[in-house]
Amino acid sequence: MSDVLPPPSPLATAQSTHVPSSRGSRAHIIAITSGKGGVGKTFVSANLAAALTRHGLRVLVLDADLGLANLDVVLNLYPKVTLHDVFTGKATLDEAVITAPGGFSVLLAGSGMVEYSRLTPEIRNQLMHVIDTLAPRYDVVLLDTGAGISDVVLFSVSLASEVLIVATPEPTSLTDAYAAIKVLTTQQKRHNMRLVINQAARPGDGRAITGQLQQVLNRFVSTESGNPMRLIHMGDIPADKAVRESVMRRQLLLHSMPGCPAALAVAQLANKIKTMLTPVEYA
């Protein structure tokens, strides 16, 4: 299956400010994470990948939720080879990377594997090797991480140059999102992170929520320089019954109902991501 791995492209040579230059030409790596599970993080990852692919970008989604992976369920895939097989030497990366219905590449993880519940030196080294090997072949790598602030999640996020937090308007989701942002700021010395509000009830909810979180961050969380951590609102995905229907059918929303409000919101998010990553090429 090596033909699913594209060669390096010109866009992949653009350096991000958070990626060590010693690793050479590589993709823009974005960790899509959340403080709480069940907020639609994997839904956002899959559909954002499809939307970015429509812009001509070479996209890989890596399922970094190593023990509780469900990207395969969202995409209706039945992989014969997973990241677990790569880690255990039973398969190569070329065999594990497959093409998803949206035209992007995916590297799926196994599910229900307790050995991935904690970060070991072996897992750390294997994840770094996977990223270093695959990143030069793509324009964008989306890391669909687990939820929360476990050591596995935090290490996965540390491999990314940008962090996109997915949250819903529910108080528990926002509280956990704040906790995740605080930990990432203090441990990884990040100066900004990006936020998308899923299942927004009304237009403008996400911007108001971002403003409220920013006020709390200004009071209690500061970067290494002493300045407040900057939270960037990337958009809202409205509550839309079409999302549940697409998830139940195991279809990409951008394919099954491209004109619905949630699909249009994901497309707008992709536009912002594209501009953020390549402001010169896409001017």
pLDDT tens across 228-251, in order? Answer: 889 999 999 999 999 999 999 999
Q: How much is the pTM?
A: 0.88
Q: Does position 160 have pLDDT exceeding 70, yes or no?
A: yes
- For residue range 163-200, list pLDDT tens digits in order: 999 999 999 999 999 999 999 999 999 999 999 999 99
Q: Look at residue 67 and give its three-state secondary structure.
A: coil
Show me where the domains of the chain are located: 28-277
Q: Which residue, among 98, 99, 4, 104, has the nearest Cα to 45 in the 3D structure?
A: 104
Q: Who wins on pLDDT, 10 or 275? A: 275
Q: Which residue, among 164, 218, 142, 136, has the nearest Cα to 35 in the 3D structure?
A: 164
Q: Which residue, among 65, 138, 146, has the nearest Cα to 104 in the 3D structure?
A: 138
Residues 6+ apart with CB under 8 A from 166: 32, 33, 34, 39, 40, 41, 44, 196, 198
